[in-house]
Amino acid sequence: MNAIILSALCGVVMMFSGILLKNKSAIKYVAIAALLVLIIGNLFQFYGIYTIDIDSKGLLSFDRTGLFFNTIIFVATLAYFILSGSDIERAGPDVAEYFALIFFVLCGVTILTSFNGLLMFFIGIEILSIPLYILTGSDKKNLKSNEASLKYFLMGSFSTGILLMGITLIYGATGSFGLQSTTIKSAVTGFSSAGILAPVGLVLLFISMCFKVSAAPFHFWAPDVYDGAPSVFTSFMATIVKAAGFFAFIKLFAAKSEDFGPGPAWKLILFVIIVATLFIGNITAVFQQSVKRMLAYSSIAQAGFMLFALYSTNDFTKDGILLYTAAYSFATIGIFSILTKMEDYSLDGFNGLSKSQPVLAFTNTVFFLSLSGIPLTAGFFAKYYMLASAIKGGGSLSLVIIAVLFAAVSVYYYFKVIQAMYFKEGVAATNTPITGNFKVALIVLAAIIVILGIYPTALLGFYYF
């Protein structure tokens, strides 16, 4: 509850800081301070100290996993503010509003980690999505940004419609918005007594959530939106928002797994979606010339790996999704913060970066290694946990083999950037001078990724103790 109230309040504070403070860079420090308050407030609740406690009449329930996920998300946002704060300032005239909208997105995230019914789930999804439509279109003079915003808005509202339809059918079948399964399975057929309505509703929910996390047959909006939006906000959308979407997806379907009816059909649907997501994400990313667009497809490919958490739910899954969120978010935030500093977003724009900016090139290499899942980086254990959970959960070995093959494909296009930075001649120009603070922040982030890669229990230790 602390995090939900505080994040909304921080958003309001940010709105007014734009009016009260005339100095633009001061706004960034206000945002960082507000975020620190948010992190502390959330940690208070994580360790059982309820400073704000409102009876939500069973609509919200707080568990350690959700609160810990909140903490990861907030820390990732802190890294994002520190690294990309100055880019947010350059994104447009309404700096304070951008920070305010980001806080409102965080409010949506906190609801999505604590919902206890489809009603709050829906509200969380909407609070998460609506500020994003605005952030996507924040570059008002840029036609591509406008197009991306409108496209995102239309497609997003459409998928929200499908989500609502699914919720309606489930309500019709079970008579409650609750997460617990209220249907009684027939011993003979294996189908629940609610007949066809609840499964159809679940399928609609599933489709809509696949859309929100850009899983394969519903991914078409993602490359255009990620490419069209200002790069700073793409960074936020592709990491924090996507991870939160996954968390909600998994939380919802882990609770509803009783309603799935006979198991194999769902496993088959998930199998097809995971393979399609991995295939489309990885293969299309190979052919991209723009690094930004390549990262958009890579985020689809990473979504394929995160879907493993849905495929089988066991102890590994929970650890896996927490670790994957941290590994993927930190690495991608780092890459995007470097990308926004570059003059040219194409692969050739990175030529010779190791000569002109050795620190940027080195940290960028660490981030890309982590994304591709090379050992000694956080990405390795994140992928390991995901695949291990699929095998433990009575798994499909073929799915794991396919995933490993596509991880190998992803190495190809991630290493193209590393190759451009280290082995190609050129002058990689940055659009702003690189400050010392930025370099230090990058090194700290890279160090965190390496530490998580050597010692992943460092992160999970906080969760269990």
Partner 1 sequence: MTWLTLLLDVQDTSAASYLPIAIQLIFAAGFVAAMIGMSALVGPKRQTKDKLETFTSGITTHGDARQPMAIKYFLVAILFVLFDVEVIFFYPYAVNFRSLGWAGFVEVLMFVGFFLIGFTYIIKKGALTWED
Binding site for partner 1 (CB under 8 A): 12, 15-16, 19, 172-175, 193-197
- Residue 274 makes CB contacts below 8 A (sequence gap 6+) with 304, 307, 308, 311, 399, 403
Q: Are 274 and 308 in contact (CB under 8 A)?
A: yes
Would you tell me how many other CB atoms lie within 10 Å of the CB of residue 362?
A: 17
Torsion of CA 326, 327, 333, 336, to 10 degrees: -160
Cβ proximity to partner 1: between 17 and 370 the closer is 17
* Structure-block tokens of residue 147: 């197009």
Task: Provide, rounded to whole angstroms, the least separation between the CB of residue 422 and partner 1.
Answer: 48
Task: Provide, rounded to whole angstroms, the least separation between the CB of residue 116 and partner 1.
Answer: 22
Task: Provide, rounded to whole angstroms, the least separation between the CB of residue 97 and partner 1.
Answer: 9
Cβ proximity to partner 1: between 8 and 428 the closer is 8
* Structure-block tokens of residue 214: 């850009």
Cβ proximity to partner 1: between 36 and 196 the closer is 196
* Structure-block tokens of residue 284: 């299309």
Task: Provide, rounded to whole angstroms, the least separation between the CB of residue 14 and partner 1.
Answer: 11
Residue 430, helix vs strand vs coil: strand
Cβ proximity to partner 1: between 9 and 400 the closer is 9
Task: Provide, rounded to whole angstroms, the least separation between the CB of residue 189 and partner 1.
Answer: 13
Cβ proximity to partner 1: between 175 and 375 the closer is 175
* Structure-block tokens of residue 128: 């998460």
Task: Provide, rounded to whole angstroms, the least separation between the CB of residue 192 and partner 1.
Answer: 10
Largest CA-CA distance found in the chain, in angstroms, rounded: 71
SS3 content of the chain, % helix, strand, coil (to 5): 75, 0, 20
Task: Provide, rounded to whole angstroms, the least separation between the CB of residue 191 and partner 1.
Answer: 11
Buried b or exposed e, range 152-189, using 16+ CB within 10 angstroms? bbebbeebbebbebbbebbbebbeebbbebbbebeeee
Task: Provide, rounded to whole angstroms, the least separation between the CB of residue 197 and partner 1.
Answer: 6
Task: Provide, rounded to whole angstroms, the least separation between the CB of residue 20 and partner 1.
Answer: 9
Stated as kind and residue range, the H or E segment containing 260 is: none
Cβ proximity to partner 1: between 19 and 143 the closer is 19
Cβ proximity to partner 1: between 102 and 339 the closer is 102
Cβ proximity to partner 1: between 45 and 174 the closer is 174
Residue 149, helix vs strand vs coil: helix
Would you tell me how many other CB atoms lie within 10 Å of the CB of residue 429?
A: 13
Cβ proximity to partner 1: between 1 and 360 the closer is 1
Stated as kind and residue range, the H or E segment containing 243 is: helix 242-255
Residue 290, helix vs strand vs coil: strand
The whole-angstrom separation of Cα 244 and Cα 250 is: 10
